Amino acid sequence: MAATNNFGIALRGWRERVSPPAGGPDSGAERRIPGLRREELARLAGLSADYVVRLEQGRARNPSAQVVTALARVLCLDTAERDHLFRCANLAPPSNGDVPIDVPARVHRLVRQLGDAPVAVYAADWTLLSWNRMWAAAVGDPRTYGWYQDNLVAGMFRSSGGHRVDAIATWPVRSWEGDEAEEESLVADLRVTAVAYPDDARLAALVDRLLHTSPRFARLWFNGSAGLHTGDRKTIEHPVVGDMALDLDVLMVPGSDLRIVAYAAVAGTDDAQKLHDLRGLLPAGRGARSGGCLTAPQPRD
């Protein structure tokens, strides 16, 4: 069965929605079809009309990154559309600069609506950006964590003299200590982000620091594994309600490359009851900072 001509389908659809250039040949003439003609697209992108025809018909299937970039520019594609066109050409999308750290309003709204569960928002490099009241109640106020660059991976791989120490000096002492599988999963995830954002100086500095301070991180970094960290199961040693075994789920935010991380307990278990009891200990809302809204972390240095 012949492969679907995804590149040609996208190219033609986007070509037909672009207005013809003002002042161009036949710009004022009545057109039978909307958008740019193939000849106009070719001229604006610096390509031959025959090559554009072959791209749309699927007879040319391996355009270069320079060709795809030119087409995306002429077609006025947004970032998601541009990345899709690159993937249709079997090419990796271009770097998006720095790792995004802005939390969109829709993400703030979603986390507020998940106020019954401990929820936090991380950047793609695992920098902690914001959290709700239940997160602080369950796993401590993030402003006390002491992570380098507010980064989970840096916190997990804190070391002293080459020996492991608790990522957080105080409660909850086990929350951020990962086993070998979790550590490898997070490092593999960070590697994917480092490739996606090769020009991010902060991320490069983080990786360089960990390579020089943590033999465990260096060993995992150089094993070459790559993949997304999607969840885990953690035991929180809570000083008030006792130990809680909770599922940690990682939800990806399309279009922003953020991670929403949430703790949840299996319904009907003692762990679920302990989360419920902890929720009941929260003070009544007293404004944005204590009412379940997101709280910003300390400024990133």
What span, in angstroms and rounded, lies between the C-alpha atoms of 92 and 252? 19
pLDDT at 119: 93
Helices of type H across the chain: 6-15, 38-45, 49-57, 65-74, 79-88, 105-113, 133-139, 152-156, 180-196, 201-213, 215-221, 270-280
Is the domain of 26 the same as that of 140?
no
Q: Based on the fold, state whether residues 163 and 270 are members of the same structural domain.
A: yes
Considering the domain architecture, whether residues 175 and 233 belong to the same structural domain is answered as yes
Confirm whether pTM is higher than 0.75: no
User: Over its length of 301 residues, how does the chain's per-residue pLDDT go in tens digits?
Assistant: 456 788 888 998 898 888 776 435 555 556 566 788 889 999 999 999 999 999 998 888 789 999 999 999 999 998 889 889 998 998 888 876 888 888 888 888 888 888 888 999 999 999 999 999 889 888 888 888 888 889 999 988 875 433 344 433 344 534 455 577 888 889 999 998 998 888 899 999 999 999 999 999 999 998 878 888 888 888 888 888 888 888 889 988 877 789 999 999 889 899 898 888 888 888 765 432 333 333 333 333 3
Residue 32 is predicted with a pLDDT of 66
CATH number at residue 173: 3.30.450.180
Are 132 and 31 members of one domain?
Answer: no
206 and 127 in a single domain? The answer is yes
Name the residue range of residue 266's domain. Answer: 105-280
Instruction: Tell me, yes or no, whether 124 and 245 share the same domain.
Output: yes
| Cα(194)–Cα(79) distance, integer angstroms | 19
Do the strands 231-238 and 159-160 form a parallel or antiparallel pair, or are they unpaired?
A: unpaired
Q: Residue 171: exposed, middle, or buried by beta-carbon count in 10 A (0-12, 13-18, 19+)?
A: middle
d(CA 171, CA 179): 18
Q: Please state, as a whole number, how many other Cβ atoms lie within 10 Å of the Cβ of residue 280.
A: 7
Q: What pLDDT is stored for residue 29 in this prediction?
A: 53
Query: What domain count does the chain have?
Result: 2
Please report, for the domain that includes residue 37, its CATH number: 1.10.260.40
The Cα 108–Cα 130 span in angstroms is: 9
Distance CA 172, CA 62 (A): 53
Distance CA 6, CA 254 (A): 21
190 φ/ψ angles, rounded to the nearest 5 degrees: -65, -35
Q: Are residues 76 and 114 in the same domain?
A: no
pLDDT on residue 281: 80
The pair of structure tokens assigned to 120 is 């936090």
Do residues 132 and 218 share a domain? yes
